[in-house]
Structure 1
Amino acid sequence: MATHTTFQFRRRMRPHRLALATLAACLGSGLTAPVCAQDAVQTVTISGRNSANAASVAGFGDIPVSRSPFSASVITTRQLADAGIGGLADITRLDAGITDAYNAPGYWGQLAVRGFTLENRSNYRRDGLPINAETVLPQANKQSLEVLKGTSGLQAGVSSPGGLVNLVVKRPTGTVRQLTLGWADDASLGAAIDLGDRSGAFGWRLNAAYDHLQPPTDASRGHSRLLALAVDAQVTPGLLVEAEIESSRQVQPSTPGFSVLGDRVPDAGASDPRTNLNQQPWRLPVVMAGRTGSLRLTQTLGKDLQLSLHAMRQRLDSDDRIAFPSGCSAEERFDRYCSDGTFDLYDFRSEGERRTTDALDVALSGRALALGLAHQFTAGLLFSRHEARFNRQAFNYVGTGRIGALVVTPADPSLTDENTDRDEKSTELRLQDLVVLTPEMSAWIGLRHSRLDRRSERTDGSRPIAYEQSFTTPWLALSHAVGPNGMAYASWGRGVETEVAPNRSRYANAGEALPALQSRQIEFGYKHRTALLDWTVAAFDIRRPTWSDLGPCDSGADGCVRAIDGSARHRGIEAEVEWRAGAWNLRGSAMALKARREGAADAAINGLRPTNVPASSLKVQAAYNVAYVPGLALLGFVTHEGRRMVLPDNSLDTPGWTRLDLALRYAQRLGSRQVVWRAGIDNVANARAWKEAPFQFGHAYLYPLQPRSLHVSAQMDL
């Protein structure tokens, strides 16, 4: 098998089969087989036909997305490389249903799906097992990212209703020799290596990467590194053993956001997107280190039956530190900066943070005939444990800062506040069944029962809280084949989130376990796939209860109660189309979203939009393969998002914005070798806009579009 080496200069700103004839008839017509990518010298495609890929996070095995009754995206590393994407946060450029939700450079990213912010402690998976995403998630040893959209109660015991993100680890595939070098504005440099081989029943894959990070943002220089090894062995004809380990570390100052100035949103065109308000001489970088290891055993028990055991441990160690701008005490407005561009500045430090996640999943899957119907089923039991340990923290006022001018203040690293340690144990039983009712119609049935045991206390032993909860989250879908190329479906499902009332003295129900938030989603969709054209459309309706503080919460009395107060309802339409004709490959996705508060005790809140959620978004990618220069492709990426609300009362908003990125890819043959060159300009027009407006920690923040930047790449197969 040919080996290959890759030289890539990339932007670092933040890339068994069907055994039953009846089941094959339902899912067949050739639609269950993935379509192989064509040779890069001949053509370049934008999506890599991701509709033909399976989204393993959904739990229905090898059924491709194009024949599944849910919305999902499978984003491959090739897509990320062509778009110049080096971090998880930038996948928002490729799918209209995914948007930013507080993506501070130099810090861990947060995403929103269908307008709901994904919870970093519960909405992320790694090869299907739960992980904590309160860290930087390295991409160099990942082969794809899967994004499942909508209520995810079938796939996760506790999660916010937007969906799930699953990182798929690179596994041994054969002989691989890949070297990656990188450069981008402003002098970011990187090197990575991807090696692998297979000898008989044993295979291995090694990934290592190092990056010197120097993005255009001021005072944000840092570095990151990754070392990962995956091995597998076919011990017996029916037993496959897979193991892998990953170690990563990133050291980089984080970038706080701008904010509302008094009663106005500052002009993005007059604000320098390179400005970093975290420039005090005493500021320290954020350090995020992670170690993850997993072991998976897959035993074939018969022609149509398989048993798997999958265990994983993740250990995260962090030092969270920043010169943090927050509020304006001079005007007694603590959710924004002052009218004159000044702000209160705090010395925040939380060092020695440790987060550990353990997971063990036991699953039995197979195919069978029962009651005259074909079934594809999975029964599984997932045990997981999350532990978070912290030290005392600093959050000390050190003076006043100003936008546009560095005002040096003294440091105050005194550890003046307690933190909160957390423990959670979860046992989840799941059952899934794909039932073929007729050659055209199938029923998709899922049920998950979860039992939680949660405990927390402050780092000084005060405010202990312990509670247990159990709940069941069902999911049901019907799909109907429409001719040889189409499928219509309808689905309904539930999800769950849990919380306790804050343990401050003003709450009458302080420390009590609150009822679980039972979200639900209804979705109707249609998918169509041919050799030249793929298109999908889905309409969804998600309703999730919301928490509010009710009663005399501002008077200092103890009658304040944390309780369910109405709901958030997100209704929308998503559409996606991909067209392939001759030298052209075009892909576009769009979402129109109506997100509103309903049924709140305060009537003034009802009908308002949530903050930082665009009402519309459009993402377009295009590739043109130049016939006169074989191997040359011109690429274009258009991202548009509508206006966002900045404040909960909807009194201020940010305008919509559009960004254009251009790139080219040239693949040439040098004998038996192939070299692929890439070059690109991000934000070609150097557009100035507020990319997102997160309202976090009771404060409004604004993050700008990054300025125009360059990236170049070269990829060689040996």
Structure 2
Amino acid sequence: MHRPHHRAPAPLRFRPPVAAALLACALSGTAWHAGARAAEALSLSDAAPRQYDIPAGPLGRSLSAFALASGIALSFEPSLTDGKTGPALNGRMGAREAASRLLAGSGLEVIGREDGSFTLRRAAAGAEALQALPAVTVSAAAERSTVTEGSGSYTTRATGAATRMALSLRETPQSVSVIGRQQIEEQNLLTLNDVLRQTPGIVADRLDERVSFSSRGFALNTMIDGVPTLSFSSAAGEASMVSMQVYDRIEVVRGAAGLLNGSGSPGGSINLVRKRPTTEFSGHVGAGVGSWNRYSAEVDLSGKLNETGTLRGRVVASHADGNSFTDSKKQSEDVFYGIVEADLTRDTLLTAGVEYQRTAIKGANFGQSPLFYGNGAPTSLPRSLSSSAPWSTWNMETQRYFVNLEHHFDNDWRVKVDAALITNDRERYSADIWLYPGNINPVTNMGTVQVSNNPATSVTRALDVYATGPFSLFGRTHSAVLGANFNRYAYDYGNYSRLLNTVDRQAANILNLGAVAQPDFRYPVNQFSGVTEEKALYGALRFKPTDALSLIVGSRFSWYDNDLVSRTWQGGANGRAVASSAGHERAVFTPYGGLVYDLDEAWSAYASYTNIFQPNTVRDASNQVIAPRRGTNAEFGVKGEHMGGKLNSSFAVFEVNEDNATELDPGAALLPDGSAAYRAVSGAKTRGFETTLSGELARGWQLMAGYTYSAKFSNKNALMNTNYPQRMLRLATSYRLPGALSKLTVGGNLSYQSGTSYLETYSNKTAYQGGLTLIGLMARYDVSSQLSLSLNVENLTDKYYYTGFGGYNGYTYGNPRNAWFKANYKF
């Protein structure tokens, strides 16, 4: 029976140390005032000792980490630290001693300013150097640090994921979560699927090797470095397999993201932000072993490529391999990432790079295991059962080439051009349990398998151009962004069989799929080729009529074209091609509005509104693509910024109204391509609320947590999306022990979701999964400032649960209890 019941980096002048130090200015609530000591060397002997754990590395980065840990406001010119390296700093000490150790032999010293902040100067220059030192100020939102690597935090100071303008979470009038490098490494988040399973408000529903991501009951759009991409839109590009080795952070906007995405899903967007090069040499090597004979190895190196540091590069490479808890399944992964930055001038930066990832799966799954036997009785199948034959293969290869050019003007405006070419290839052939209709014999376990070869390819071209910066009006400074983007996505996939002009379906014992022979797939059955193009113009203005009030107004005009050619050989030796269109839309207007009001130093209230335009891709019972979804999205809430920005909180209520929502049509036959038919629902309404908390609760204690309630009802008040949980809790935390135990960090993660159900298409039976709680643990021991050892345990209580439910009329089990042990050495 079923166990579950049914400028950062500032692109033109590389200065992440300054950006991070400026971030520390915002955290200076506990800074000590220098007063009259402005011309003296640092005098913090009266400050209470604090715990420091700063690895050896570039001096600028070390000083930024020192400022963050000590709570002082420290700013400096990057040229002072270029080419210099700071020693490792570990232990409990006063700020004066910590600064002295970091600066030993550097020829630099920290001195106080009259405003209570601190800066750097050359020790030999004397006190007069302070007056000659150029002031470092934040003149535009783009100067804020968005890089999470090395921050030691589970939160961020700024993100442009929702508006293209670098705003703090508190200033952004939408629900945003950022999963940064610290959380990715500590919680051992290897893929995008792992990340989103820890992200507040996100449902990750596994079909087979594919996973669908949704928020508030809607699919999420995807961006890379802020540029919308259609490269994950087909079987050739699977988002869930994307390795996290390449990325600094994942930014998730919940709620309609139509300002930056042409097909603005009501669910929001995922933005994958790449790692960038550093000025000084830095990096790490790592290796790990895990349950089911898994192992991994990685290297990440970064630094300047010429003496002056105007040319910088970074390279990342990794390999992973091993088995699975699923019978006969093995998976390997190879990743390579290279990026080069070149300062063409003092204000112009050229960046180019390439990503490569190959994921090869033997014993791969397509489809799911059956929920019910042919007589309607619930199945009782082993947890490790594979729904596909051992020889089934699913190999994915992705290559992403990108180049961007960015220029900063003296008036603090900047213009950026991003271009990308992405190719995806999928090799897939298999014998899979066929669940339409459910006809498995409960005594003999005889059923049907479909045997096919199903290759897929796609090519995506993307271009994005935008300008952003400040402007003055009525004596106050405001911000603006104006841009345009283009996406062209061409894809091709088909099916091949051992039989002429027909799909190969065979009788088989589902408990012995190894007995199904791998055939020669010599005959084409069908082929589908298509081109999707999206073009858009977008813009937004952020007005600041008062210090406490900001108003964001924006809009997007979108053009959408989707053409398809399908060819079928069933019933004819030469094949028959049919051209069709999945939609053409012209100048669709999507307005966006947001209001943020600062209630006091810590709290703000906000509201946002946007229209919904999202083309559907599913078809109705007459094999016609359902018209695009249209509707509205409104959100209201409060946000908090605490402890000088080290901790962020939010609470939001939301409502989505939509026409042409889609749901399975239970009475319809399968479509000619074998997929299920859907029907449109008008007047659907989604309502809910969520609350989040991210950042440092206390010294050494990091937290990312969120609770979400969301429910979608039809115009007849019937609950829709019953296989999605209505309530979810996501929590991840780590704590560095104090004092003599400070080399040890412990933590873990917890995921709760309420019960779900699925009405099986053919048996008319309903399967249920009750409320589910999963627990993971982590521990890391710092052997030295460079070497660390870590242990991560997933599903501590070894729960049986569905990680996929109903997507292919069946279920997919989630991972049993398993562990990873890793060693990491930092340069």
TM-score range relative to shorter protein: 0.7 to 0.9
What residue in structure 2 maps to residue 279 of structure 1?
389
AA of the residue aligned to 1:703: T
Report deviation, 1:639: 1.2
What residue in structure 2 maps to residue 435 of structure 1?
543
What residue in structure 1 maps to residue 50 of structure 2?
none
Residue 212 of structure 2 corresponds to residue 110 of structure 1? yes
* Separation in structure 2 between the aligned mates of residue 244 and residue 637 of structure 1, nearest angstrom: 34
CA distance 1:319–1:562, shift in 2 (3 Å): closer
Pairwise mapping of residues 90-169 of structure 1 onto structure 2 (< 5 A)?
90-104=194-208, 107-118=209-220, 122-133=221-232, 134-135=237-238, 136-169=241-274
What residue in structure 2 maps to residue 625 of structure 1?
736
What residue in structure 2 maps to residue 534 of structure 1?
648
Is the CA contact (8 Å cut-off) linking 2:415 and 2:466 kept in structure 1? yes
| Aligned residues with identical type, % of pairs | 19
Residue 645 of structure 2 corresponds to residue 645 of structure 1? no
Pairwise mapping of residues 546-585 of structure 1 onto structure 2 (< 5 A)?
546-547=661-662, 564-578=680-694, 580-582=697-699, 584-585=701-702
CA distance 1:632–1:537, shift in 2 (3 Å): same
What residue in structure 2 maps to residue 465 of structure 1?
580
Is the CA contact (8 Å cut-off) linking 1:72 and 1:149 kept in structure 2? yes
Query: Aligned with 1:277: secondary structure?
Result: coil
Is the CA contact (8 Å cut-off) linking 1:612 and 1:644 kept in structure 2? yes
Gaps of 5+ in 1: 1-15, 19-26, 600-605
CA distance 1:372–1:191, shift in 2 (3 Å): same
Is the CA contact (8 Å cut-off) linking 1:482 and 1:488 kept in structure 2? yes
Equivalent of 1:594, from 711, 719, 722? 711
What residue in structure 1 maps to residue 723 of structure 2?
612
What residue in structure 2 maps to residue 23 of structure 1?
none
Report deviation, 1:555: 13
Is the CA contact (8 Å cut-off) linking 2:431 and 2:449 kept in structure 1? yes
What residue in structure 2 maps to residue 603 of structure 1?
none
What residue in structure 2 maps to residue 350 of structure 1?
454
Is the CA contact (8 Å cut-off) linking 1:115 and 1:162 kept in structure 2? yes
CA distance 1:278–1:337, shift in 2 (3 Å): same
Is the CA contact (8 Å cut-off) linking 2:388 and 2:432 kept in structure 1? yes
Is the CA contact (8 Å cut-off) linking 2:320 and 2:334 kept in structure 1? yes
CA distance 1:109–1:692, shift in 2 (3 Å): closer
* Separation in structure 1 between the aligned mates of residue 706 and residue 163 of structure 2, nearest angstrom: 25
Report deviation, 1:387: 0.6
CA distance 1:554–1:316, shift in 2 (3 Å): closer
* Separation in structure 2 between the aligned mates of residue 684 and residue 45 of structure 1, nearest angstrom: 28
Is the CA contact (8 Å cut-off) linking 2:156 and 2:178 kept in structure 1? no
CA distance 1:109–1:547, shift in 2 (3 Å): closer
Report deviation, 1:544: 2.7
* Separation in structure 2 between the aligned mates of residue 456 and residue 542 of structure 1, nearest angstrom: 30
AA of the residue aligned to 2:639: K
Is the CA contact (8 Å cut-off) linking 2:154 and 2:702 kept in structure 1? no
What residue in structure 2 maps to residue 9 of structure 1?
none
Residue 137 of structure 2 corresponds to residue 63 of structure 1? no
CA distance 1:265–1:443, shift in 2 (3 Å): farther
Which structure's relative contact order is higher, taking Cα pairs within 8 Å and 6+ residues apart? 1
* Separation in structure 2 between the aligned mates of residue 478 and residue 711 of structure 1, nearest angstrom: 45
CA distance 1:152–1:583, shift in 2 (3 Å): closer
CA distance 1:464–1:238, shift in 2 (3 Å): same
* Separation in structure 2 between the aligned mates of residue 488 and residue 32 of structure 1, nearest angstrom: 24
Deviations 1:617-661 (A, max 9, x none): 112223333233121011121111111121278943211211111
Q: Which has the higher helix share?
A: 2
Query: Aligned with 2:193: secondary structure?
Result: helix
What residue in structure 2 maps to residue 317 of structure 1?
425
Report deviation, 1:482: 1.4
What residue in structure 2 maps to residue 602 of structure 1?
none
* Separation in structure 1 between the aligned mates of residue 597 and residue 549 of structure 2, nearest angstrom: 4
- State the TM-score, normalized to the length of structure 1: 0.84
What residue in structure 1 maps to residue 598 of structure 2?
481
Report deviation, 1:713: 1.6
What residue in structure 1 maps to residue 396 of structure 2?
288
Equivalent of 1:236, from 330, 339, 345? 345
* Separation in structure 1 between the aligned mates of residue 654 and residue 215 of structure 2, nearest angstrom: 12
Is the CA contact (8 Å cut-off) linking 1:46 and 1:585 kept in structure 2? no
Report deviation, 1:290: 1.0
Deviations 1:276-318 (A, max 9, x none): 22234xx331111111111100112332221111111101111
What residue in structure 2 maps to residue 188 of structure 1?
294
What residue in structure 2 maps to residue 675 of structure 1?
787
Residue 23 of structure 2 corresponds to residue 30 of structure 1? no
Deviations 1:137-194 (A, max 9, x none): 2321111111111111112111432111111111112312321212111111221111
What residue in structure 2 maps to residue 7 of structure 1?
none
Query: Aligned with 1:152: secondary structure?
Result: coil
What residue in structure 2 maps to residue 663 of structure 1?
778
Report deviation, 1:477: 0.8
CA distance 1:90–1:400, shift in 2 (3 Å): farther
* Separation in structure 1 between the aligned mates of residue 290 and residue 472 of structure 2, nearest angstrom: 56
Is the CA contact (8 Å cut-off) linking 2:222 and 2:228 kept in structure 1? no
Aligned Cα RMSD in Å?
A: 3.4
* Separation in structure 2 between the aligned mates of residue 45 and residue 128 of structure 1, nearest angstrom: 21
Deviations 1:509-537 (A, max 9, x none): x65x7643213211111111211753211
Report deviation, 1:551: 14
AA of the residue aligned to 2:631: S
AA of the residue aligned to 1:566: S
AA of the residue aligned to 1:457: V
Report deviation, 1:586: 4.2
AA of the residue aligned to 2:253: L
CA distance 1:108–1:194, shift in 2 (3 Å): farther
Is the CA contact (8 Å cut-off) linking 1:295 and 1:310 kept in structure 2? yes
Of 384-393 and 649-658, more deviation after overlay is shown by 649-658
Is the CA contact (8 Å cut-off) linking 2:180 and 2:249 kept in structure 1? yes
Equivalent of 1:420, from 528, 532, 544? 528
AA of the residue aligned to 1:607: A
* Separation in structure 1 between the aligned mates of residue 225 and residue 496 of structure 2, nearest angstrom: 30
AA of the residue aligned to 2:219: T
What residue in structure 2 maps to residue 685 of structure 1?
797
* Separation in structure 2 between the aligned mates of residue 41 and residue 692 of structure 1, nearest angstrom: 45
* Separation in structure 2 between the aligned mates of residue 639 and residue 548 of structure 1, nearest angstrom: 27
* Separation in structure 2 between the aligned mates of residue 633 and residue 390 of structure 1, nearest angstrom: 48
What residue in structure 2 maps to residue 525 of structure 1?
637
Of 575-584 and 173-182, more deviation after overlay is shown by 575-584
Report deviation, 1:679: 0.9
* Separation in structure 2 between the aligned mates of residue 447 and residue 32 of structure 1, nearest angstrom: 37
Query: Aligned with 2:182: secondary structure?
Result: helix
* Separation in structure 2 between the aligned mates of residue 551 and residue 279 of structure 1, nearest angstrom: 29
AA of the residue aligned to 1:292: R
- State the TM-score, normalized to the length of structure 2: 0.73
Report deviation, 1:453: 2.4
Query: Aligned with 1:570: secondary structure?
Result: strand
Size of the aligned set, in residue pairs, is: 659
Equivalent of 2:607, from 490, 507, 513? 490
Equivalent of 1:706, from 812, 815, 819? 815
AA of the residue aligned to 2:819: L
* Separation in structure 2 between the aligned mates of residue 717 and residue 46 of structure 1, nearest angstrom: 12
Is the CA contact (8 Å cut-off) linking 1:675 and 1:716 kept in structure 2? yes
Residue 156 of structure 2 corresponds to residue 52 of structure 1? yes
Report deviation, 1:374: 2.9
Is the CA contact (8 Å cut-off) linking 1:127 and 1:169 kept in structure 2? no
Is the CA contact (8 Å cut-off) linking 1:260 and 1:337 kept in structure 2? no
* Separation in structure 2 between the aligned mates of residue 555 and residue 162 of structure 1, nearest angstrom: 28
Report deviation, 1:596: 2.1
What residue in structure 2 maps to residue 249 of structure 1?
358
Residue 206 of structure 2 corresponds to residue 89 of structure 1? no
Query: Aligned with 1:390: secondary structure?
Result: strand
CA distance 1:637–1:28, shift in 2 (3 Å): closer
